[in-house]
Amino acid sequence: MENVENQQEEAASTDSENDIDIEDDSMNNVFPVCDETSQSIQLETCVQPADLSIDASRIMSIAPGEGKKPLAILQDDNFEELCFPTLFPTGKFGYNCQRQVHLTPKKYFKKRLLEQGGRFSSNVEYLFVAQFITEWHQITSSIAVALRKSLTGTDGESFNAGFFKHNEHIRPLITKDDAYHFLRSISGGPPYWQKVLFELLAAIKQFKIFTWFLTLSAADMRWEDTLKALARQQGKTLTSEDIDKLTWEERCSLLRSNPTTAARHFHHRVQSLFTDVILSPASPLVKVNRYFYRIEFQPRGSPHVHAILWVENAPQPNESSEKISDFVENYFQASIPEDGELGDLVNNLQTHRHTSTCTKKERACRFNFPRSISEKLISVKARCR
């Protein structure tokens, strides 16, 4: 009996020692979550909390995308609300919201950008998303129609991936440019500008060479009405004296605060220039029959216009140089006003200043400035090679 009791006591002591060893091992596997030097702590979630002292046992791991397929951005009904939670605090009323009156993408985003608060129009990321969605809808709605116009006589064969694997179906689309003709309605793309180029070449062939070539740059840093409107959207009221005291950085900050308003003011000025000045009954540049212009953007982000005008009874390039010079001198002058606001504008904005562009390929100014003063306009006929 004594031997049995001794064996039981030894077994009990052995078990207790093993328990202690197990507890010690488990304690050695615990990471010190409060240690600031440990940055690779293995938590139950991929997103580690900013405060590492948080109890990891209370973190719930979920997999909302398990067993599902990735969706395109336009296939998600709430993509707009999820991408811009600050613009949609309630998580409702995005583009895909069910409404009594259906809105096209252009009408919907136009309404958003013209909202009185300006929270949508001042968000640059939202502007790019609006442009992407609008163009995407234009493209997708035109693809099916373009295919059915181009692939006639296919005996009702369905258009799937296997259909386009055959070269005899792809070659006609490429050789006839039908593969991208449907993109002509998307402004800014290569098919769109190809269409514009052909129309412009046709106009030059029909109406001869154009008379005037204009380059109009946006002096948005000097437009008081634009700066006042942008400041008013921020709850500020600026006077003309306040605008004169603004620094260059403050003016740039105002223009960047709401690109939509700045672009609308520029567009309104261009339209007013053509409607109220160039095409007015006063005819400051003779009666203009036709015109064409294209808007481009400078490196600093401000737009400018390149325009060409056709006028009545304008001399042609094959006529004498004296007749062309007399015609130009009636409408344009190359003199600097002595005093007044006009003189300041000419000296600040219409005077050549050497930049890196002047000496791009040569040591001297490749525009030949400064030039000698001439009392009479000299016309030079250039011959195209």
pLDDT, tens only, 100-157 = 888 888 899 998 998 877 889 889 899 998 988 888 888 887 776 666 665 544 455 5
- Structural domain includes residue 152: yes
- Structural domain includes residue 164: yes
Cα–Cα distance between 301 and 255 in angstroms, integer?
10
For residue 226, the model assigns a pLDDT of 92
Positions of E strands within the chain: 212-217, 288-297, 303-311
For residue 1, the model assigns a pLDDT of 47
**Range name among 33-37, 274-278, 301-305 with the lowest pLDDT average:** 33-37
- Structural domain includes residue 358: no
Positions of E strands within 101-204: none
pLDDT, tens only, 176-206 = 666 677 788 888 888 888 889 999 999 999 9
Neighbours of 183 (CB within 10 A): 19
The more confident residue out of 268 and 169 is: 268
For residue 34, the model assigns a pLDDT of 42
Total domain count for the chain?
A: 3
pLDDT band per the 50, 70, 90 thresholds, residue 31: very low
Cα–Cα distance between 78 and 104 in angstroms, integer?
17
For residue 228, the model assigns a pLDDT of 92
Q: 280 vs 71, 267, 270, 283, CA distance in Å?
A: 54, 18, 14, 6
- Answer whether residue 323 shows pLDDT above 80: yes
- Structural domain includes residue 19: yes
pLDDT band per the 50, 70, 90 thresholds, residue 301: confident
Give the best-scoring range by mean pLDDT among 45-54, 69-78, 311-320.
311-320
- Structural domain includes residue 342: no
| Among candidate residues 150, 184, 218, the one where a domain is terminated | 184
For residue 69, the model assigns a pLDDT of 80
pLDDT, tens only, 304-318 = 899 999 998 888 888
Sheet holding 212-217, edge to edge: 212-217, 303-311, 288-297
Amino acid at site 257: S
Q: What is the rounded average pLDDT of the residues 251-272?
A: 90
Which pairing describes strands 288-297 and 212-217: parallel, antiparallel, or unpaired?
A: unpaired
- Structural domain includes residue 48: yes
For residue 375, the model assigns a pLDDT of 77
For residue 265, the model assigns a pLDDT of 92
- Structural domain includes residue 112: yes
Q: Are 360 and 366 in contact (CB under 8 A)?
A: yes
Using DSSP's 3-state secondary structure scheme, residue 346 falls into helix
| Percent of the chain at pLDDT exceeding 90 | 15
Query: Which tokens hold the place of 309?
Result: 């005008």
318 and 216 within one domain: yes
Neighbours of 350 (CB within 10 A): 9
**Non-local CB neighbours of 93 within 8 Å, separated by 6+ positions:** none
The helix or strand, by DSSP H or E, that contains position 137, with its residue range, turns out to be helix 124-150
Bridge partners (DSSP) listed for residue 306: 215, 294
Q: What is the rounded average pLDDT of the residues 369-382?
A: 74
298 and 219 within one domain: yes
- Answer whether residue 159 shows pLDDT above 50: yes
Give the residue numbers spanning the domain of 154. Answer: 74-184
- Answer whether residue 8 shows pLDDT above 60: no
Q: Are 210 and 308 in contact (CB under 8 A)?
A: yes
**What residue has token string 């979550």?**
33
Bridge partners (DSSP) listed for residue 244: none
User: What secondary structure letter does DSSP report for 166?
Assistant: S
221 and 329 within one domain: yes
**Range name among 71-80, 118-127, 244-253, 271-280 with the lowest pLDDT average:** 71-80
248 and 216 within one domain: yes
- Answer whether residue 28 shows pLDDT above 60: no
Cα–Cα distance between 253 and 112 in angstroms, integer?
23
For residue 201, the model assigns a pLDDT of 93
Using DSSP's 3-state secondary structure scheme, residue 286 falls into strand
Averaged pLDDT score across all residues of the chain: 77
| Percent of the chain at pLDDT exceeding 70 | 73
Q: 158 vs 83, 113, 155, 163, 374, CA distance in Å?
A: 36, 40, 9, 7, 72
159 and 273 within one domain: no
pLDDT, tens only, 338-370 = 777 788 888 888 888 888 888 877 778 888 888
**Range name among 19-28, 238-247, 330-339 with the lowest pLDDT average:** 19-28
For residue 55, the model assigns a pLDDT of 62
- Structural domain includes residue 34: yes
For residue 383, the model assigns a pLDDT of 52
For residue 384, the model assigns a pLDDT of 45
Cα–Cα distance between 259 and 263 in angstroms, integer?
6
For residue 33, the model assigns a pLDDT of 41
236 and 172 within one domain: no
